[in-house]
Structure 1
C-alpha cells in the first residue's frame, strides 16, 4: 500500500537552514511544524470532509501541545523563526477502516532527515485519531532527541615516506591509494550517522602537508562550515610496510578531540584503505 502522490510533495520540501544559536545548554530547541496534508481515497459514498478537517485540526493541536509540553522544545512558526527541526507529514485514508500517516523530521541546520516513517492506523473516529496522535508524538519526540550529526571536514590523507630513498614527488599509484583511503574513510564515517561529511574541495585542496601545520586545517574547516576537522597520514616504513594515523580537532578551539595510530607495521599499499577504515571506525564510531 502506498500513499498517493498528493501527500509526497509535502515531504520533499527544501528547507533552508536557519541561523540559530541557543542561548545556553538549557535553551529550548525550536521546532516548526506545518499542518499535515489529508487525502481521502477510500471512495466512500458519504462526504466526510468536515469531520476530517476537525480531526486533523485536533490531531495537529495535540501534536504541537505534546512537543511543547516537553521543556526541551518550543514550537515556532517556521524555520526562519529559529527552528532547529521541522516536522512535516500527511495522512491518507485508503479504506473505511485503514489510514496511513507519513511523518518526517528534518534537522534544519544539517539539512538532513532524522526521521522518515510510514505508519498505519485503523479506524476513522475521534478515538482512533487520538491513539494515532499519541503514537506519532512519541516517535517524533524520540527523533528530536537523537543527536544531530557532527559536521566533519575529512581532509585528504597524506603520505609520509620514511624509507631511506623516497621517490621524488608522489607516485601515481600512491596518489591513487591515498584517494581510496580518503574516500573510504569519508564513506564509513558518513554512513555511521554520527557525522555529516563536509565538502573540502576547492580552497581546501590548496593546503599542503597539513600534518605539519600545527592545526592550520581547523581554520579551513571552520570556513567551510564544519564543527570538526580530520587529517590523516600514511607512513611508509618500507616498500611493503606502513603505519597510519589520524587526528580530529574542534575547529573553534583547535583542541584535539581524538587521535589514533595503528602502531604496528601492516601490509603493503593495497591494504591502506582497509587499515584506515578499521582504525577510524574503532576510534570514532564503535567506542561511542
Structure 2
C-alpha cells in the first residue's frame, strides 16, 4: 500500500461543521486509530507485536493531546470535534518505518497539518520516541489556525499624471504583474494565507475592481476563497506614487483590512518592493500579532 493512500483527501468533503457549546472551554479533538501496513517482507510474523505497539501509540497520543486540558477527546466531528487527527504507519524495512499524519480543521474543512515522518527501529522504545515526537507536532498544528483562502487579484494602475493616455502601457503591465506575483508569494509564505488561483478569465470579466463597489468579494467566493484582496498603484508623477490594498470577506463583502503607503518616491520598478513592504506591515504582521494575542 502506498503511503499516499493512508489518508484520503476525499475525507475533507464529508466532515461536518461542529457547533461547540459556548460554555465548553476545551476544544474537541477526534483522533482516529491509525492504520498499519508492513511491507518489509520480513519472514517473522509480527502482527501481534505491531497491534500492541500501535494500540499503545494511539493511547499515548490521545493522552498527550488532552493532558493540558486545552483539548478534550470526542469520537467524531458529529460529536463536536473542532479538529480531526488521522494517519497511518508503514514499515518499509527491518529498521525503517514511516508515519503519515494529518490534522483537519473540521469547521473550515482544511488541512492544518499533513506531514510524513520516518523513524528507525521497531521496538517499544522506538515507538515511544516516535509518539512523543508526533504528539508535539500535532499539538503545534492544533494551536495554529488554518490558513485563510485568499484570492489576490491583479494589481491595477490608476495613472493621475497629465501624460496618461488611458491605455495601459506594456511596461506598466509588466511592473504590475511583478507586484501581484510578489504580493502573492509574500502572503503565501507567511503561512497565514493559502493563495487561491485567480484565472485570467475571471479577472478580465471583472474589469476595474477598484471601482466595482466590492464585486471582487463575490468573484472570490465563486473561486472558493474566504477573502479577496485588490491592490492599486496610483501614479502621481513619473517618480512619485502611492500604493493601496483592500481585503474583503468573500461571504459578506465586509472590508476586513486596508492599507495605504502614502506618497513614495521611486521609479516604476520600485512598485514591487513597496507593495510587499506595505502588505507585510499592514496585513501579515498585524494578523500575526492578532493571532498571538488570541493564543
For the criterion TM > 0.5, the same-fold answer is yes
1:250 aligned onto 2:249:
yes
Match of 1:10 among 5, 19, 26: 5
More helix by share: 2
Query: What do residues 200-228 of structure 1 show as CA deviations (whole Å, max 9, x unaligned)?
Result: 22435311222223322222222322222
Query: What do residues 13-57 of structure 1 show as CA deviations (whole Å, max 9, x unaligned)?
Result: 4334346333246584554635232326384x6432322233223
Superposed, 1:137-216 pairs within 5 Å as 137-201=135-199, 202-216=201-215
Superposed, 1:16-27 pairs within 5 Å as 16-18=12-14, 20-24=16-20
Alpha-carbon distance between aligned partners in 1 of 2:204 and 2:16, rounded to the nearest angstrom: 30
* Counterpart contact for 1:11–1:104, Cα < 8 Å: no
1:118 aligned onto 2:117:
yes
Q: For residue 155 of structure 1, report the CA deviation from its aligned partner.
A: 1.2
* Counterpart contact for 2:28–2:72, Cα < 8 Å: yes
1:266 aligned onto 2:265:
yes
Q: For residue 150 of structure 1, report the CA deviation from its aligned partner.
A: 0.7
How many residues in Structure 1 have an aligned counterpart in Structure 2? 278
Change (3 A) 1:118 1:215: same
Alpha-carbon distance between aligned partners in 1 of 2:101 and 2:203, rounded to the nearest angstrom: 34
Match in the other structure for 1:233: 232
Query: What do residues 218-241 of structure 1 show as CA deviations (whole Å, max 9, x unaligned)?
Result: 222223222221110001112233
TM-score (norm 2): 0.78
